[in-house]
Chain A
Amino acid sequence: MIKAIWNWIQRFSSPKYFYSMSAPLVTWFSIAALLTGLYGLYLGLFVAPTDYQQGESYRIIFIHVPAAWMSLFIYMVMAISSGIGIIWQIRLADMVAAASAPIGASFTFLALVTGALWGKPMWGAYWVWDARLTSELILLFLYFGYMALQSAIEDQRSADKASGLLAIVGVVNIPIIHYSVEWWNTLHQGATVAKFDKPSMHIDMLIPLLLMAVAFKLFYAAVVLVRTRNEALYRDRNRRWVRELIERL
């Protein structure tokens, strides 16, 4: 029974099978991401009411907050798929992890930039050592470390396993880092206004925010599929299935 399930997993996680099955998914995810994103932006930028404290500038949260959520979410995905890759030796999982890192780093960077832009009208400076921004910055360093390790090791399999282990260590650390930074922040900057965790956000603001979050997730799904497909082609470039694909072109 277990053997049968195992064989099934092996079959469906082979890069060849993945490559042939994922092509239509990319299209669907992209279209869905575009539609949700556009609708979410419309609601966020034109329909949602103006904030009585922050005026129009608060509208950047419709990008900033989902980007920050994604930065953490993608790190989790990386760590989980690395774990699957290390424990069960599934190559596809390693590829997903490697493909996710630059996307996650980009979302983290986006969250930092939008945070800085939002900070200017809020605090009068692009950068203040706010707890969330600082945590994001450290997360960006974690992504950089992962990518640097991945590219420093030549043997692909060791590179995957080594950087995967680092991602798992990072995930264990993220809550500790997050907690310490929060704590550090309250000590040094007790006066900072909490930005958006008012318990009751207006429903007209909440809906576009959630829509944007869904749109970002769909976007990530589409991009990670494309990148994983590339990764599969590149890593298996000497295998028969890729060669047959090339010959058919």
Chain B
Amino acid sequence: MLKAYYHLLLRDLRLALRNRHELANPLIFFVLVVTLFPLAVTPTPDALRAMAPGVIWVSALLAVLLSLDRLFKQDYDDGSLDQLMLSPNPLMILVLAKVSAHWLLTGLPLVIIAPLLGLFMSLPTEAVSVLIYSLLLGTPVLSLVGAIGVSLTVAVNRGGVLLSLIILPLYIPILIFGANAVDVASDGLPVTGQLLFLGAVLALALSLAPLATSVALRITAAR
């Protein structure tokens, strides 16, 4: 069972690495969107600092959302998804493997590049480290919950807007606590509560989302 997880994870990583140019797209999108705000609103450090947590978190949310498509789309189109569902291994494990790969390929790069954006948005140093922690706890939830949405919409033609419509409301708690943690940290206040909440939601998503995703995949395959 662990082997099945490991093999599928490895396959997805290998596939992504052979398409490196696509790999960078969500990342560039993330940086680009954040860059728009100083241009659209104001570049004064104080104003930037005030809106930085929200802007960075919303951009991360959208970057993950745009990348969700590749979670199951290709496998659905070429029939590999059927083979995964006919595996003697529990579908949940395979779903978890695919979600892990997705996070390693999109969530983790976002976390890594976030300090740079903190710099762009004049965030104080202590807030930058909290930004990293909050993204580290929050982005896996985005991948996990997003997987449910993609598996429901992967067979729908032009499902992109539909996907945002059903997934974004579910992302709201992560957005609130993630952005707030950074906000509070930039005032120099403790943020344990917010990070604990994010951790709790991660634990919940980790235990329930793969189950919901595998049910959703079976519904999609039954079409």
Contacts and interface: CB of A to CB of B under 8 A. Distances in A.
B153 interface: yes
A142 to B, nearest CB: 5
B92 to A, nearest CB: 15
Given A152-B159, A180-B176, A162 B169 contact: no
Interface residues of B, number: 29
Nearest to B200: A176
A158 interface: yes
A170 B145 CA distance: 11
A148 interface: yes
Interface stretch (B2-10, B45-53, B103-111, B208-216): B208-216
Contacts of A173: 169-170, 173
Contact of B162 (A152, A157, A168): A152
A138 B173 CA distance: 11
Interface in B123-175: 145, 148, 152-153, 155-156, 159, 162, 165-166, 168-170, 172-173
B153 A142 contact: no
B8 to A, nearest CB: 23
A152 B156 contact: yes
Interface string A175-188: 01101110110010
Chain B's interface: helix, strand, loop or mixed, by majority? helix
A158 B148 CA distance: 15
A145 interface: yes
A177 B212 CA distance: 18
Interface residues of A, number: 31
Given A152-B162, A162-B152, A166-B152, A141 B168 contact: yes
Give the interface centre of A86, A168, A169 by most chain B CB atoms within 10 Å. A169
B223 interface: yes
A165 B201 contact: no
Contacts of A157: 222
Nearest to A141: B169
B30 interface: no
B165 A141 contact: yes
Contacts, number: 77
Nearest to A146: B166
Nearest to A140: B169
Contacts of B219: 158, 161-162, 165
B169 A145 contact: yes
Nearest to B201: A176
Contacts of B215: 86, 165
A179 B215 CA distance: 27
Chain A's interface: helix, strand, loop or mixed, by majority? helix
A152 B153 contact: yes
B35 interface: no
Nearest to B168: A141
B170 A169 contact: yes
A173 B168 CA distance: 12
Contact of A158 (B162, B166, B222): B222
A176 to B, nearest CB: 5
Contacts of A142: 169
A125 interface: no
Interface string B187-223: 0000000000100010010001000100110011011
Given A142-B169, A152-B159, A173-B170, A180 B177 contact: yes
Given A145-B166, A165-B216, A170-B169, 10 more contacts: A138-B169, A149-B166, A158-B220, A161-B219, A162-B152, A165-B215, A166-B166, A177-B170, A183-B176, A184-B180
Complex A-B, nearest 6 residue pairs according to Cβ-Cβ distance, in ascending order: A145-B166, A180-B173, A161-B219, A141-B169, A180-B176, A184-B176
Interface of B: 145, 148, 152-153, 155-156, 159, 162, 165-166, 168-170, 172-173, 176-177, 180, 197, 201, 204, 208, 212, 215-216, 219-220, 222-223
6 contacts: A145-B165, A148-B165, A153-B155, A155-B223, A165-B216, A170-B169
Interface of A: 86, 138, 141-142, 144-146, 148-149, 152-153, 155, 157-158, 161-162, 165-166, 168-170, 172-173, 176-177, 179-181, 183-184, 187
